[in-house]
């Protein structure tokens, strides 16, 4: 079947933005500030960028195979929960949102939660371990908050997409009931939590955060991804976790609360103006 143009444009747009955020922005900062003169910073950059890039290629393969060969399957769907909000196996409610509206709503929601979570618990699950002294505070914020969440979430996304792809293949081959397929897909939430623990042990072995906390963070993130059918909401949650922790290292809690609150209020007003009359998406989901 021919690939739906809307799905293709949405997929390409998201992929281009993620590549820019994960590769171009940190690379520009690292080169302009001579941060890559520090071998550990350069090593960490390539570690995240390469693994994230490989996962992105895997997602590309699965997306094009699913949509070109078996697009619009009414029983099992063809979405892989990357840029297919509201498409099976996700909840159809999220078809109401455009990709940008879902991103903006998620960003406001999770940054608000992230701000107050930091102010009460001061916990970060991930981040760059070493940054050179050449980096300014803003450089450090952007380098860590952009590179790490995108790369790690792409790794998870490929795992989730591969799981959906495999389950859908066996469902079609054995003519499963749609409910059995959906139930099997949502069992991947457990796999997402376990991936988070494995990722944490591999990259942050010296961290003193309880593994159950790490498990729950990735468990919830995987659930959000499957429910919405989009990569963006969990990315916003992960970004907020990293960003506010790092911001708290450079700024007092009082100043962070004031400045962050102002930005979030302005974003909330922007959302209301842009989507007045459809704050929760379009009325129909067709």
Full-model pTM = 0.90
The residue among 139, 105, 145, 116 whose CA lies nearest residue 257 is: 116
Buried b (16+ CB within 10 A) or exposed e, 237-263: bbbbbbbbbbbbeeeeeeebeeebeee
Domain extent, residue 56, equals 5-274
The residue among 269, 248, 250, 279 whose CA lies nearest residue 116 is: 248
Dihedral sign, Cα of residue 142, residue 233, residue 5, residue 185 = positive
The pLDDT, as a whole number, for residue 146 is: 87
Q: What angle do CA 115, 117, 119 make, to 5 degrees?
A: 70
Residue 279 belongs to a domain:
no
Count CB-CB contacts under 10 A for residue 193. Answer: 21
Residue 41 belongs to a domain:
yes
The pLDDT, as a whole number, for residue 131 is: 59
The pLDDT, as a whole number, for residue 111 is: 92
Residue 52 belongs to a domain:
yes
The pLDDT, as a whole number, for residue 1 is: 41
d(CA 197, CA 193): 7
Residue 284 belongs to a domain:
no
Average pLDDT along the chain, 286 residues, taken 10 residues at a time: 73 95 89 77 89 96 80 77 91 93 96 81 58 69 86 96 94 92 95 93 78 92 97 95 77 76 94 91 64
Instruction: Kindly report the length of the chain.
Output: 286
- Residue 83 dihedral angles phi and psi, to the nearest 5°: -135, 35
The residue among 233, 192, 232, 250 whose CA lies nearest residue 216 is: 192
The residue among 157, 97, 126, 130 whose CA lies nearest residue 243 is: 126
The pLDDT, as a whole number, for residue 101 is: 96
The pLDDT, as a whole number, for residue 266 is: 96
Count of structural domains, the chain: 1
């Amino acid at each position: 079947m021919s690939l739906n143009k809307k799905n293709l444009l949405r997929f390409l747009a998201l992929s281009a933005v993620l590549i820019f955020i994960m590769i171009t922005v940190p690379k520009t900062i690292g080169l302009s500030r001579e941060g890559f003169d520090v071998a550990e910073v350069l090593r960490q950059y390539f570690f995240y960028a390469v693994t994230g890039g490989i996962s992105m290629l895997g997602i590309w393969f699965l997306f094009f195979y699913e949509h070109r060969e078996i697009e619009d399957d009414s029983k099992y769907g063809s979405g892989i929960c990357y840029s297919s909000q509201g498409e099976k196996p996700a909840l159809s409610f999220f078809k109401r949102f455009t990709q940008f509206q879902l991103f903006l709503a998620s960003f406001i929601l999770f940054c608000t939660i992230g701000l107050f979570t930091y102010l009460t618990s001061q916990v970060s699950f991930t981040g760059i371990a070493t940054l050179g002294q050449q980096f300014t505070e803003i450089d450090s914020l952007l380098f860590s908050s952009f590179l790490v969440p995108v790369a790690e979430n792409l790794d998870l996304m490929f795992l989730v997409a591969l799981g959906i792809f495999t389950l859908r293949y066996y469902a079609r081959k054995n003519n499963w009931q749609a409910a059995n397929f959906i139930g099997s897909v949502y069992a991947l939430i457990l796999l997402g939590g376990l991936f988070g623990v494995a990722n944490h042990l591999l990259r942050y072995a010296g961290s003193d955060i309880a593994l159950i906390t790490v498990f729950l963070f990735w468990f919830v993130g995987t659930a959000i991804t499957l429910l919405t059918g989009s990569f963006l909401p969990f990315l916003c949650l992960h970004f907020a976790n990293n960003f506010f922790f790092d911001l708290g290292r450079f700024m007092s809690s009082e100043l962070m609360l004031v400045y962050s609150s102002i930005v979030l209020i302005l974003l909330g007003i922007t959302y209301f103006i842009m989507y007045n009359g459809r704050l929760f998406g379009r009325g129909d989901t067709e």
